[in-house]
């Protein structure tokens, strides 16, 4: 039985900010991601090998073994990008009913990845569009970014990119990069208005395609993946941007 997929509603780099303001989301094709971030697409592709060595996620409450990940945090102010001391990831139960309220300390991103010039270019672009769309005061302000590298595999028959279901993250901007997918079906992205009837559904298939979300306005999820051959997986990079501080800073004391 063939699988029905919907093509992503790509926009041009020049349309990103206005699309976020008007629709609450924007989707970019890989070449346009590179143009928008001011980097080389091959430099982004060179990061892909890092996803092969991600350690297991030890905090899955559904008992699954399908997720591997790393996590690091950064503060971006204008052109300045600073990695902060390693800290747990924390969300309230209001945003993550499955894993909310837990201090989840994942392995940090590898030094070579963080040191790559293209990594800083990517973070500056995300902080920059956050400032354009969400900031109300003139001048540079710090943006607090959490970066999550995910590999969802199908070794046990099914993998769940969003085991918590359709959700918001409690930040300003959410960026979901499809880094790669191999020998899987499924993984459809679904984006819906939090307070309205509109929604879109599509499947990201091209490495380094990107979904940007206004987290206050939009709910998102990705459907489970299943293998079509041995060794199937789906790799993503999720980066969240938030004003004021990292989520849970008052709870974690950092």
Q: Decide if 7 is inside a domain.
A: no
Per-residue model confidence (pLDDT) at position 104: 81
- How many of the other CB atoms lie within 10 Å of CB of 58? 12
Q: Which long-range contacts (CB under 8 A, 24 or more apart) does 80-89 make?
A: 81/120, 81/123, 81/124, 83/114, 85/254, 87/246, 87/252, 87/254, 88/248, 88/252, 89/146, 89/148, 89/248
Question: Is the separation of the CB atoms in 188 and 203 below 8 Å?
Answer: yes
For helices 117-134 and 30-37, angle between their N-to-C axes, nearest 10 degrees: 80
Q: What distance in Å separates the CA atoms of residue 83 and residue 74, rounded to the nearest whole number?
A: 4
CA distance 6 to 20: 20
Domain membership flag for residue 254: no
Kindly state whether residue 61 falls inside one of the protein's structural domains. Answer: yes
Half-sphere exposure at residue 34, Cβ-oriented, CA atoms within 13 angstroms = 12
Q: What is the pLDDT of residue 1?
A: 42
Residues 6+ apart with CB under 8 A from 253: none
Whether the CB-CB separation of 34 and 122 falls below 8 Å is answered with no
pLDDT at position 103 is 77
Query: Does 251 fall in a domain?
Result: no
Say what the pLDDT of residue 196 is. Answer: 85
Question: Is 31 within a domain?
Answer: yes
* CA 242/CA 118 separation, integer angstroms: 21
- Average pLDDT of adjacent 10-residue blocks, the chain of 254 residues: 78 97 97 98 98 92 86 96 93 58 86 97 97 76 96 94 88 97 97 92 98 96 96 97 83 59
232: domain CATH number is: 2.60.120.620
What is the pLDDT, as a whole number, of residue 217? 96
- Strands (E) in 29-155, as ranges, are 67-77, 80-83, 143-153
Identify whether 5 is part of a domain. Answer: no
Residue 183 lies in a domain: yes
The answer to whether residue 208 is domain-embedded is: yes
Q: For residue 56, how many C-alpha atoms fall within 13 Å in the half-sphere facing its CB?
A: 8
Domain residue limits at 126: 13-246
Q: Where do the H-state alpha helices sit in 12-63?
A: 16-23, 30-37, 41-45
- Reported as a single tens digit per residue, the pLDDT across 224-235 is 999 999 999 999
Q: How far apart are CA 11 and CA 134, in angstroms?
A: 19
Answer whether 67's CB lies under 8 Å from 48's CB: no
Structurally, how many domains does the chain consist of?
Answer: 1
3-state class of 21 per DSSP?
helix
């Amino acid at each position: 039985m063939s699988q029905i997929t919907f093509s992503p509603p790509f926009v041009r780099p020049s349309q990103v900010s206005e699309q976020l303001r008007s629709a609450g989301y924007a989707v970019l094709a890989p070449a346009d991601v590179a143009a928008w971030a001011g980097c080389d697409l091959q430099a982004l592709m060179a990061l892909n090998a890092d996803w092969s060595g991600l350690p297991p996620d030890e905090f899955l409450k559904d008992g699954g073994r399908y997720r591997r990940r790393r996590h690091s945090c950064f503060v971006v102010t204008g052109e300045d990008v600073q990695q902060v001391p390693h800290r747990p990831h924390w969300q309230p139960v209001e945003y993550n009913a499955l894993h909310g309220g837990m201090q989840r300390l994942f392995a940090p991103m590898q030094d070579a990845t963080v040191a790559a010039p293209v990594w800083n270019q990517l973070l500056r672009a995300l902080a920059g569009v956050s400032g354009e769309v969400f900031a109300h005061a003139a001048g540079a302000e710090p943006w607090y970014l959490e970066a999550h590298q995910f590999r969802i595999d199908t070794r046990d028959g099914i993998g769940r990119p969003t085991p918590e279901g359709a959700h918001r993250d409690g930040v300003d901007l959410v960026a979901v990069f499809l880094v790669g997918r191999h020998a899987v079906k499924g993984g459809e992205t679904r984006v819906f208005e939090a307070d309205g009837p509109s929604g879109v559904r599509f499947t990201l298939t091209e490495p380094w395609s990107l979904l940007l979300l206004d987290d206050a306005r939009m709910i998102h999820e990705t459907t489970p993946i299943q293998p079509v051959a041995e060794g199937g997986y789906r790799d993503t990079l999720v980066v969240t941007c938030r004003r004021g501080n990292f989520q849970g800073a008052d709870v974690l004391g950092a």
